[in-house]
Each structure stands twice: as structure tokens, then as C-alpha cells.
């Protein structure tokens, strides 16, 4: 049942995010506020289903990642969080990367694929990576031109990095609380 809920949650997540791009007339017919409300409920339901499905999926080990991957994972997660922060705090890097949040998702998904060799993780993080790549392709096709932000500040890049480090710390605490220790242990 866990895998079914996980896949249903992923399908809702991808469908909810791509609905506006793949069926713009139907999305527009829903109205601005009602459409956002419906999509918020769909996306919240997708997250709940993914979490329940992932946590209840039977463990099927596909491969065993080497222990050094945790360092690469943490770096890629930090980079992903930095791109998310850059989407709200325009720095010089913001002017170079069009899809900051989707780039952050790709970095996060790759990071988790490197350290999780179980089937549920491969399904979840592989699907999130595929969704982010597909979203970039669809956005670039629909909106081929992009106006780069002007007057970007290198100082903002540093502020975004500090925000990313703080978020990383919070996420590390939550992961530890859930029983997934994200930091390398001494002697490991």
C-alpha cells in the first residue's frame, strides 16, 4: 500500500504543477482564486500521500551507497537551498540562472538519489528530478525569452547563502528528529 500511496502522491504533485501548462484553458476557467485554492489542496494532499507512502513503503534495497556520498549529498542540498533562497533574494547568481527553484529541486533530488539506495527513495527522488527537468523544458518552450534581473548584488548572494545554511540546519534537526541522521558521524 505504501508504494501505491507514494506513486499517487507523486502523480498528484506532478499533475497539479503541470496542469496550468498542459491545460491552460481549463485552469483559467477555474478562476484565479478558486484555481489557486484547488491547486493548494491538491498539492497539500500530494505531499501527505508522498510522506505516508514513503514512510510505509516496504524496504527494497536496490543498491548500497558508499558512505562518502553523504558529504556530496549535504553539499548538493545546501546548493539547492541556496538556489531556493536566490529566488527570493536576487543576487548575481540570480541573473545567471533562470529557474532557481527548479534548479534547487534538481540539486536536492540528485543529492538524495546519491545517498538512498532503496526503491521508495529512487521512485520519489527520481520522480522529483524528472518533474523539475520536464518543468524547465515546458517553461522554456512556452516562454523562450527571459529578462535577466538587473542590478543584482553579490552581497545578496552571500545573504542567500546564510539563509540556505540556516535552513540546512533546521532541516538537519528535523531529519534527525525523524530518525534520518543527515550529518556524517565521526569514525564513519
First vs last C-alpha separation in the chain:
34
Average pLDDT value for the chain: 92
Instruction: Report whether 13 contacts 47 (CB < 8 A).
Output: yes
Q: How far is CA 21 from CA 13, 64, 129, in A?
A: 14, 38, 18
Q: Map grid coordinates 543498491 to a residue.
A: 63
Please state the rounded mean pLDDT for residues 91-102. Answer: 91
Q: What are phi and psi of 56, to 5 degrees?
A: -105, 0
32 vs 185, higher pLDDT: 32
pLDDT in tens, 20-29: 888 888 888 8
DSSP, res 175: H
pLDDT at 187: 47
Predicted confidence band of residue 185 (pLDDT cuts 50, 70, 90)? low
Instruction: Report whether 82 contacts 97 (CB < 8 A).
Output: no
d(CA 20, CA 63): 37
pTM (two decimals): 0.90
What totals of helices (H) and strands (E) does the chain contain, helices first? 7, 0
pLDDT in tens, 44-85: 999 999 999 999 999 999 999 998 999 999 999 999 999 999
d(CA 77, CA 93): 17
Amino acid at each position: 500500500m505504501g508504494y501505491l500511496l507514494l506513486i499517487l502522491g507523486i502523480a498528484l504533485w506532478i499533475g497539479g504543477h503541470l496542469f496550468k501548462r498542459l491545460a491552460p484553458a481549463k485552469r483559467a476557467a477555474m478562476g484565479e482564486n478558486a484555481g489557486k485554492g484547488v491547486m493548494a489542496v491538491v498539492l497539500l494532499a500530494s505531499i501527505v500521500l508522498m510522506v505516508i507512502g514513503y514512510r510505509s513503503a516496504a524496504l527494497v534495497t536496490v543498491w548500497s551507497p558508499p558512505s562518502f556520498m553523504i558529504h556530496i549529498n549535504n553539499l548538493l542540498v545546501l546548493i539547492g537551498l541556496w538556489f531556493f533562497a536566490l529566488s527570493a533574494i536576487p543576487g548575481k547568481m540570480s541573473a545567471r540562472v533562470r529557474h532557481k527553484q527548479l534548479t534547487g529541486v534538481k540539486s536536492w533530488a540528485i543529492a538524495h538519489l546519491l545517498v538512498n539506495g532503496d526503491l521508495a527513495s529512487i521512485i520519489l527522488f527520481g520522480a522529483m528530478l524528472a518533474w523539475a527537468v520536464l518543468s524547465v523544458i515546458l517553461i522554456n518552450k512556452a516562454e523562450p525569452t527571459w529578462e535577466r534581473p538587473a542590478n543584482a548584488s553579490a552581497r545578496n548572494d552571500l545573504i542567500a547563502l546564510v539563509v540556505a545554511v540556516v535552513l540546512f540546519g533546521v532541516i538537519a534537526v528535523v531529519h534527525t528528529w525523524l530518525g534520518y541522521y543527515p550529518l556524517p558521524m565521526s569514525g564513519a
